[in-house]
Structure 1
Amino acid sequence: MKKIFLLIAIFSMVFTSCEPLEDINAEIDAQESAIFGDVEYTLTDEDYDALELSYGSFSSLDDAKEALPDFLSTKYPVLGKGSSALIGYKLYVGNAFGLKDYSLKQEDYALSGSDLLGFQNNVNPQDYLAGILSNNYSSPEEGDYVAATYFQYTGSAFTVTPTVSFEENFDYGTTAGDLTTISSDNWVNHSGTANQLLYTTESLSMTDYPSNTGGAITLSSAGSEDVNSSFTPITSKMVYTSALINLSEVGDGTYFFHLMEEDGSFAYSARVGAKSDGAGNILFGIGASSSSLTYGTTPFNLGTTYLLVASYNIDNGVSNLYVLTSALESEPLTPEATNTGSAGNTANRIGIRQGGGGPTGTIDGIRVANTWSSIMSNDVLEDEVVGTKVSNKAIYTYNDGAWVLPSTDGFYSISDVDFASMGIETFGSSTSPDNYLPAFLNIKFPYAQEGDVLNVVYDYLSSSSGAQTRGNLYTKTDGVWVGYQSTIDTTLQFAHDGTTWVPDNTIKYELIAADYTLIADTYRNDPDYATAVANLEAYGNISTFNWTTEQIDAAVNTVLNTNFTGMEEGQKFNVTVYVYDGSSHNVSFSYILEGGVYIRN
Structure 2
Amino acid sequence: MKKIVYLLMAFTLVFTTACDPMEDVYDEIGDIEKVITGDVAFELSDDDYDFLEQGYGNFSSTDDAKELIPALLEDKYPVWGAGSLAAVTFKLYNPKRTEKSLVVYKVASSDYADLGFTYGNFSSFEQIVTFLDWKYPNPADRVLVALTYKYYNGSVNTVKNGFIYVSGEWQFLQGFTRDEYNQMGENYDNFTSKTVAEKRIPIFLKDYLKYETVETGDIQPIMYNIYQTDYDDIDGDGKTDDKTAYSYAFYCIFDGNAWVEYENIINETIQFGNDGSVWVPDNTINYTLTAADYELVGNGRYGNFDVRAGKAEETEEVRLEKINTILLNNFPASEEGQKYSVDYNVYSGAAEVWNMKVILSGGAYVLQ
- AA in 2 matched with 1:99: T
| CA RMSD, 1 decimal | 5.1
**Corresponding residue for residue 287 of structure 2:** 509
Alignment partners' CA distance in 1, 2:34 and 2:348: 30
- Structure 2 counterpart of 1:67: 68
Superposition map of 1:377-388 within 5 A: none
Contact persistence 2:87–2:272 (CA under 8 A): yes
Q: Kindly indicate whether the alpha-carbon contact (under 8 Å) linking 1:492 and 1:503 is maintained by their aligned counterparts in 2.
A: yes
Deviation at 1:557, TM superposition (A): 1.1
Please give the secondary structure, in 2, of the residue aligned with 1:4.
Answer: helix
8 Å contact kept, 1:592–1:600:
yes
Counterpart mapping for 1:36-185 below 5 A: 36-93=37-94, 95=96, 98-101=97-100, 137=140, 145-146=143-144
Structure 1 pair 402–542 and aligned structure 2 pair: CA distance change class (3 A): closer
How far, CA to CA, are the matches of 1:46 and 1:458 in structure 2? 42
Residue among 23, 26, 49 paired with 1:4:
26
The match for 2:156 is none
CA shift digits 1:36-55 (9 cap, x unpaired): 32222221233234434455
**Aligned counterpart, 2:296:** 518
Is the counterpart of residue 541 in structure 1 residue 304 in structure 2? yes
Give the 3 Å change call, closer, same or farther, for CA 89–551 of structure 1 in structure 2. same
Q: Does 1:493 align with 2:271?
A: yes
Task: Give runs of aligned pairs for residues 250-261 of structure 1, distance below 5 A.
Answer: none
> Any gaps of 5 or more consecutive residues in structure 1?
8-27, 104-132, 149-394, 460-468, 521-532
Distance 1:447 1:488, change over 3 A: closer
3-state SS of 1:574 partner: strand
Residue 486 of structure 1: CA displacement?
A: 5.6
Cα distance in 1 for partners of 2:264, 2:335 equals 25
Counterpart contact for 2:94–2:265, Cα < 8 Å: yes
Selected match of 2:319 from 537, 546, 552: 552
> Deviations for 1:403-434, whole angstroms, at most 9, x for unmatched residues?
9xx996689xx9xx97xxxx99655xxx994x
Identity of aligned residues (%): 36
Measured in 1, the distance between the counterparts of 2:272 and 2:67 equals 11
Structure having the larger proportion of residues in helix: 2
> Residues 398, 554 of structure 1: CA spacing in aligned structure 2 closer, same or farther, 3 A cutoff?
same
Structure (1 or 2) with the greater strand fraction: 1
**TM-score, reference length from structure 2:** 0.54
Rounded Cα–Cα distance in structure 2 between residues aligned with 1:425 and 1:519: 64
| Cα separation, 2, equivalents of 1:79 and 1:513 | 32
**Structure 2, unaligned runs of 5 or more:** 1-22, 103-135, 147-161, 214-219, 227-247
- AA aligned to 1:472 is Y
Give the conservation status (yes or no) of the 8 Å contact 1:59–1:92.
Answer: yes
The 8 Å contact of residues 346 and 352 in structure 2, kept in 1 or not, is answered as yes
Q: What corresponds to 2:114 in structure 1?
A: none
Residue 80 of structure 1 aligns to a residue whose secondary structure is coil
**1:582 equivalent in structure 2:** 349
2:62 maps to a residue whose letter is: L
Task: Decide which of 472, 477, 494 is 2:251's aligned counterpart.
Answer: 472
Partners of 1:457 and 1:472 within 8 A in 2: no
Structure 1: distance between partners of 2:276 and 2:197: 46
CA distance in structure 2 between the partners assigned to 1:596 and 1:398 by the alignment: 39
Deviation at 1:473, TM superposition (A): 6.0
Q: Is the 2:324–2:365 Cα contact (8 Å) retained in structure 1?
A: yes
